[in-house]
Structure 1
Amino acid sequence: MFGDMMGMMNKLKETQEKVEATKERMKSVLIDEQSGDGLLKITITAAREIKNISIADELMEDKDQLEDYLVLTLNKAIKRASDINEAELAAVAKDGMPDIPGLDQFK
């Protein structure tokens, strides 16, 4: 039983290291999002850090329209980044979970 416990602890530690490595990797995964008409383009990392915003000149003429575009496009970009981030971390965590008797009923 003690050996099993040590094995589980090692597997948990290994999984934690993989999760941290995945979080670090998410900082370099770039996601491009744009408004429906392409006038506003945003690049964001899967770690949800904005890297670039490109605004067409015609949007600069209407402050209200630009604000609307920014809110909508940023929200789409953040949603995509969050989905990718969560899926990647969930996959790492699932693969690294030790087999604990009785917990398989919750899968």
Structure 2
Amino acid sequence: MFDKLFEAQQKAEEIKKRLDTISVSGEAEGGRIRVSATANKHIESISIDTELIRVENKEELEELIAVAVNKALEQAEKISQAEMQAATRDMLGGFGNMFGQ
């Protein structure tokens, strides 16, 4: 049983490493603001069209950045959940074999 738990822990580490290599992105204002992140929800870059950078636009710009960040993080969450579900199915299949099922 401990072998299976150790295997599950190793699998989780493998998934985390794989999620670090997957890029996701979110956009707002028709792509004028772009956010890139890893599937582990680490923001890698934010790109803002220079036309949007004006002092009188500050609140709107902040809102658009939040929208783009949230879209990127939503994609990251979906990928992360899919990876974890696949690992859980694999792990549960192993536990079933352990109990003769």
**What TM-score does the superposition give when structure 2 sets the normalisation length?**
0.83
Question: What does 1:44-83 correspond to in 2, within 5 Å?
Answer: 44-61=37-54, 62-83=57-78
Tell me, yes or no, if the aligned pair for 1:45 and 1:51 is still in contact at 8 Å.
yes
State the shift of 1:28 in Å: 1.5
Structure 1 residue ranges without an equivalent (≥5): 1-7
- In the TM superposition, residue 15 of structure 1 has moved relative to its aligned partner by 2.1
Once the two structures are superposed, residues 86-107 of structure 1 have per-residue CA deviations (whole angstroms, 9 ceiling, x without a partner) of 1101211221121176xx9xxx
Give how far 1:67 is off. 0.7
Aligned length: 95
Measure, in 2, the Cα distance between the counterparts of 1:17 and 1:94. Answer: 15
The residue aligned with 1:15 is 8
Write the distance in 2 (CA, Å) between the matches of 1:90 and 1:16: 14
Aligned to 2:18: 25
8 Å contact from structure 2 (residues 27, 67) kept in 1:
no
Hey, what's the Cα distance between the residues in 2 that align with 1:63 and 1:28? 33
CA distance in 1, matches of 2:27, 2:58: 18
Q: Tell whether the 8 Å contact from 1:19 to 1:93 is kept in structure 2 after alignment.
A: no
The letter of the residue matching 1:89 is M
Q: Deviations over 1:13-52 (max 9, x none)?
A: 2122111111121111111221141110110000000001
The structure number with the bigger radius of gyration is 1
Aligned to 1:93: 88
Q: How high is the sequence identity, in percent, across the aligned residues?
A: 32
Instruction: Answer whether contact 2:40 2:76 (CA < 8 A) is retained.
Output: yes
Output the amino acid matched with 2:18.
R
What's the Cα RMSD here? 1.8
Aligned partner letter, 2:21: S
